[in-house]
Amino acid sequence: MSEKSPVRTVFEKISRILPEIKKPGRKVGFGEKLAWTALALVVYSWMGHTILYGLPSGQQVGQSPVLLNVVFAQKTGTLITLGIGPIVTAGLILQLLVGAELIKLDLNKSEDRALFTSVSKLLAIVIAVFQGAAYVSAGFFGPTTQTQNLVIFVQLVMATILIILLDELVQKGWGIGSGISLFIVAGVAEEIFVSLFSPILLPDQIYQGVILAIFQTIIAGNISPLLIRQGGFPDIVGFVSTIFLIVALIYIEAVRIEIPISYAKFQGYRAKYPVKLLYVSNVPIIFATTIFSNIFYLGSLVWSRFNPNNDNFFLNLIGTYRFDEEAGTVISTGGLAYYVIGPRGLAQVLEDPVRAVAHAAMLIVFSVLFAKFWVQISGLAPEKVAEQLISAGMQVPGFRRSPEIIASIIRKYIGTVTILGGLIIGTVASIADYLAVFGSGIGILLTIGILNQYYQLLIRERISEMYPAFGKLLGRE
């Protein structure tokens, strides 16, 4: 998209008719930002508990795999059946295209950033249309008529547009942080809370919430059924693993290598450039799960249209499925779609250890590959970091102030932590799910990273509120 290309002109015209939340024309106080952020969260939570109109009478609301519920903050059968999936997928696709320079946009320019946002919004709506059609066509809501399918489809697309606007509301200065991050954390927090305190009695007459179940089984004098439970329900192994994982991730998040640097004009000034162990953050795992989820859903669409009896050998390689009456949704039973969604809980791992090993291997490999790819296209590569340090007037003490030399020094650190980071998040995400960690391993990974970002944002907001001069230095108005 060059500046005068016809394609750019078309997208600029389309962007003018898309629904949009305007930036505030005044300074929004810290308290008001918290109120708008809370409002966005309340609306999203309400959508997550509002059943789609037109579902078959008596149809139980099914659940997608936990992996998708967490990463895309979705709940099948409700207004957030698609969750933030279309927004995340659209953003990742455009980021890849821009990073690979297949689309010519300079995100340092306000005009190009605005166009990127508009195109991302348009693409998210297109993806929502496609995914909504895939859902109703694949029979994810059970036996439905054409009229029911149309009503459900319209709700899914309109709900996605509302979610896009809620995210804009938070991001454009009315709230704090990112709406997408907020919805992910809220979904994980709800999963954890339900796993701990849900008073629902399961078929074995033991509470779903592990805290209540522990007291119940202690009183009954037999806690052994709660150690490992069938169906991936909360158990003691998952409870202990969740606590251990949270503590471990908080520690890992703080681990970093500090490269000494100095200011070229003032030799006495010393500083350190931190390179975190999780240098690529959670982006690789989001990439991997986005691909896995699309394999799962596209496979289900192919299955429903061309292979409902699972009798086509080649289509079976993509995935075989069946409609689970008890769960109220379509589940994978074989093929690639079966392995991209890993087992949950030790009981399921023992039932099919091959699936567990295959899923973990794919998740780890994809995480490492995407970590290396993301570093190259997102401005995190050693060459880009060296250029930034040089432009800021910095240098590495004892070495000539040259981008090539600084890049070679930084490369040995960044190259190592990139691979290690991909290995860690891929391994943690898979093994944590096998131990039935509450909120899923990926969910805990994302939540720890997001909460750390929110902690820093809240500190900056408070400083900006109390000391306006510091706010200007921090880039706040």
- Written as tens digits, the pLDDT of the chain (477 aa) is 445 577 777 777 877 788 888 888 888 888 888 899 999 999 999 998 898 888 876 555 445 555 667 778 888 888 998 888 899 888 888 887 877 677 777 766 777 778 888 888 999 999 999 888 888 877 777 677 888 889 999 999 999 999 999 999 998 888 888 888 899 888 888 889 989 998 988 887 888 889 999 998 888 888 888 888 877 788 898 899 999 999 998 888 888 888 887 776 666 567 788 888 888 888 888 888 888 888 887 888 888 888 888 888 899 999 898 877 665 567 888 999 999 888 888 888 888 999 999 999 999 999 999 898 888 877 788 888 888 778 777 777 777 777 788 888 888 888 889 999 999 989 988 888 888 888 888 888 888 888 888 888 888 777 776 666 555 545 554
Q: 356: Cβ–Cβ under 8 A, 6 or more apart, which residues?
A: 342, 343, 348, 349, 430, 434
Amino acid, single-letter form, for residue 173: G
Question: Cβ atoms within 10 A of the Cβ of 419, count?
Answer: 17
Q: What is the pLDDT of residue 94?
A: 85
Q: How far apart are CA 467 and CA 477, in angstroms?
A: 11
pTM of the model: 0.82
End-to-end CA distance of the chain: 31
Alpha helices, DSSP H only, in 49-84? 66-71
Q: What is the pLDDT of residue 292?
A: 87
Report the DSSP pairing between strands 394-395 and 329-334.
unpaired
- Three-state DSSP at 398 gives coil
Please list, residue by residue across 429-462, b when 16 or more beta carbons sit within 10 angstroms of its beta carbon and e when fewer do: bbbbbbbbbbbbbbbbbbbbbbbeebeeeeebbe
Nearest Cα residue to 293 out of 93, 126, 443, 69: 69
Question: Cβ atoms within 10 A of the Cβ of 205, count?
Answer: 8
Q: What is the pLDDT of residue 35?
A: 92
Helix (H) or strand (E) holding 106: none
Q: How far apart are CA 400 and CA 398, in angstroms?
A: 7
Q: What is the pLDDT of residue 242?
A: 92
Domains of the chain: 1-18+28-198 (1.10.3370.10), 234-285+351-473 (1.10.3370.10)
Q: What is the pLDDT of residue 473?
A: 47
117 Rama sector, left if φ>0, alpha if ψ -120 to 50, beta otherwise:
alpha
Q: What is the pLDDT of residue 127?
A: 92
Is residue 425 within 8 Å of residue 449, measured between CB atoms?
A: no
Amino acid, single-letter form, for residue 337: A
What are 457-466's contacts with CB under 8 Å, separation 24+?
Answer: 457/176, 457/177, 458/176, 461/30, 461/33, 461/176, 462/30, 464/30, 465/29, 465/30
Helix (H) or strand (E) holding 331: strand 329-334
Is residue 19 within 8 Å of residue 165, measured between CB atoms?
A: yes
Query: CA-CA-CA-CA torsion for 243, 244, 245, 249, nearest 10 degrees?
Result: 110
The DSSP symbol for 307 reads: -
Q: What is the pLDDT of residue 38?
A: 92
Helix (H) or strand (E) holding 269: none
Q: 363: Cβ–Cβ under 8 A, 6 or more apart, which residues?
A: 285, 288, 292, 342, 426, 429, 430
The DSSP symbol for 205 reads: S
Tell me how far the alpha carbon of residue 347 is from its chain's centroid: 26
